[in-house]
Structure 1
Amino acid sequence: MEKVLVFGGTRFFGNKLVERLINSGCDVTIATRGKTQDSFGGKVKRVQLDRSVDDSRWDEISSVQWDAVYDNICYNQNDAEIAVTRLGKNVVKFIFTSTLSVYGISETAQVEDDFSPMHYTLPEKDKELDYGEGKRAAEAYFFQKSGWDVSAVRFPIVLGLDDYTKRLHFHIEKVSKEQDIGFPNIEASMGFVSSDEAADALFFLKDQPGLGPINICSEGHLTLKQLMNHIENATNKTAKITSDVTEENHSPFGVSGSWYMDPSKAKAAGFHLRKLESWLFPLIDQLAGQYSKAH
């Protein structure tokens, strides 16, 4: 029975990943701060710790030999260093949840070589970094310092009914209420991935050799204008789009230019990608229906 450790497995695609690991017969331990209840009952072991604090709460997991470790909640080099120091040589395979944010805005699809963690100069310890730079530094630390078999899974924005950040919900509510939504560039193209697809990809990588950086996203992309057109159809309302962006109306998808990835490496590895429109448009319809019934 494979022993698997999951940092952050109680919400969203992390929760779905743990379900898949349990169903496959893995011996699963989840490590979180214990602030979010889970529904796994006695099917998992639990360790309560703060991922960003190196203290005695790590002792329970630091001496265990792990067949696979998933890290969904590492955001910077300091967090990465704690894991590498504490887990040492007791990791066979390490799967790190990274992000599209390691790339910049581009009118062409980003490929893995557009950011190389092996050629990244690590910043000074404890230096404050924004989200994208923090993930770059974390990737670099794992690849340069751990000696583990690492895959860094670069996801775009993850969407689903269970998205606790409610980014897609924001747009449906604003359109339904006929309120302004601010977009710096409504013609920008974006890619997305569903929470189920994200969980499937993480589970898939457990049984693969370390693939290094790997883009995981649905196949295809669309402009923000196309996205809003479908929300208009689903809500029977006209979206009030403005380029006068404020803190209140700023779309969570509001980017200055196109931002999407090429998932060819994942396809070549044998991972089945979903067509973006096959799940995104039905999700919008479902959320719009739920909002209409509630209001």
Structure 2
Amino acid sequence: MATILVLGGTRFFGKKLVERLLESGHDVTIATRGQAGNPFDERVTHLQFDRTDAAAFEAAVQGKSWDIVYDNICYSPNDAREAVRILEGKAGKLVFTSSLATYDPRASIRTEEDFNPHIHEIREGNTADFSYGEGKRQVEAVYYQQASFPVVAVRFPIVVGEDDYTERLLFHVQHVLERKPIAFASLDARMSYITSDEAAAFLQWAGEEAKAEPFNATASGDYTIAQFIALVEQATGERAKIALGGDDATRSPYAVGADWYMTNDKATRAGFTFSHLHDWLLPLIERLVASQR
């Protein structure tokens, strides 16, 4: 049994991670602002604070320590720097939820070597000062360059599932069913995906097994945007109205201008077995379609 702190963990794959950790018999503490309540009741210890409030963070963890800390909700170098200071001597290992967004879209599959957090220039700033991708790059840089504890950065692609509160996949289903236009930047761009269940499983593996290095975590396989839309059309029985460019109302959450996908070879060699995208994406879309009818 390990003692584990999860920063975040009350929705989507963070919630599923906590459920997996509890099922494995670990002693779990979650830290949240308390806005979503505590879905785990007395099975976890619940610390309530805003992780962007360093004083509150420090007070809440005073006198405590954990074998593994999961940081699912860090988006800026300032917050990462405070976490490094506050968790000094309190974290045996930290797993940071990072993103495919650390890589720029381009016409090639991305490997972990395409972004090196050990040499990335660290800047001052909060979440609003950076794009999402640069914010994640900054956090990785701070953790790898300044933390005394070992760090695993898990780079996820688009995470999907019936429990996805962002509703990015559902956006496409709804627009096709309602015959609304969907705008893309490129129909040829290839993209990676992972389910929320598999993301949770990978995070658990990263905490229990992975070396202190960055890892891509994605289902095997990929689809172009055109192939993805063809699956939505197949599931709905409707033809999609496709546009290029668009506005805020029509622009797809998947509107990337070039390939945005990555290999999972490194994690596979390290011992994690991934699902194959072609086995589950269409059934997931079909379930979302059924939920809308």
- Provide the TM-score with structure 2 as the length reference: 0.97
Secondary structure (helix, strand or coil) at the match of 2:261 reads: coil
- Counterpart check, 1:52 vs 2:52: yes
Task: Give the number of aligned pairs.
Answer: 292
SS at match of 1:55: helix
Corresponding position of 1:192: 193
- 1:206 paired with 2:207, answer yes
Q: Which amino acid aligns with 1:229?
A: A
What is residue 271 of structure 1 aligned with on the other side?
272
Conservation of the 8 A alpha-carbon contact between 2:76 and 2:125: no
Residue 209 of structure 1 deviates from its aligned partner by: 4.4
Write the distance in 1 (CA, Å) between the matches of 2:210 and 2:105: 30
CA distance in 1, matches of 2:74, 2:100: 15
1:262 corresponds to 2:263:
yes
Verify the 8 A CA contact 1:62 1:87 in the aligned structure 2. Answer: no
Distance 1:209 1:289 in 2: 38
Q: Distance in 2 between matches of 1:174 and 1:202?
A: 32
Distance change in 2, residues 1:184/1:146 (3 Å):
same
The range that moved more, 65-74 or 81-90, is: 81-90
2:20 alignment counterpart: 20
Superimposed CA distance per residue, residues 224-276 of structure 1 (whole angstroms, 9 cap, x where no aligned partner): 11111111111110000001411110000011011001110110111010001
Residue 125 of structure 1: how far off its partner (Å)? 4.4
Decide whether the 8 Å contact of 1:96 with 1:153 is kept in 2: yes
Task: Give the superposition deviation at 1:65.
Answer: 2.0
Aligned to 2:158: 157
Cα separation, 2, equivalents of 1:61 and 1:188: 44
Q: Which moved more, 1:201-210 or 1:67-76?
A: 201-210
Partner of 2:234: 233
TM-score (normalised: structure 1): 0.96
Letter matched to residue 270 of structure 1 = G
Change (3 A) 1:57 1:148: closer
Q: Secondary structure at the match of 1:118?
A: coil
Matched, 1:69 2:36: no
Residue pair 1:49, 1:58 contacting (<8 A) in 2 also: no
Is 1:142 aligned with 2:153?
no
Unaligned runs of 5+ in 1: none
Q: Indicate the SS of the match to 1:163.
A: coil
Tell me the amino acid that sits aligned with residue 292 of structure 2.
Y
For 1:79, the equivalent position in structure 2 comes to: 79
- Paired AA for residue 78 in structure 1: N
- Residue of structure 2 in register with 1:88 after alignment: 88
Q: Percent identity?
A: 42
Which residue number in structure 2 is paired with residue 37 of structure 1? 37
Q: Structure 2 unaligned runs (5+)?
A: none
The 1:125/1:234 distance shift into structure 2, 3 A limit, reads: closer
Check whether the contact 2:210–2:270 (CA below 8 A) recurs between aligned residues.
no
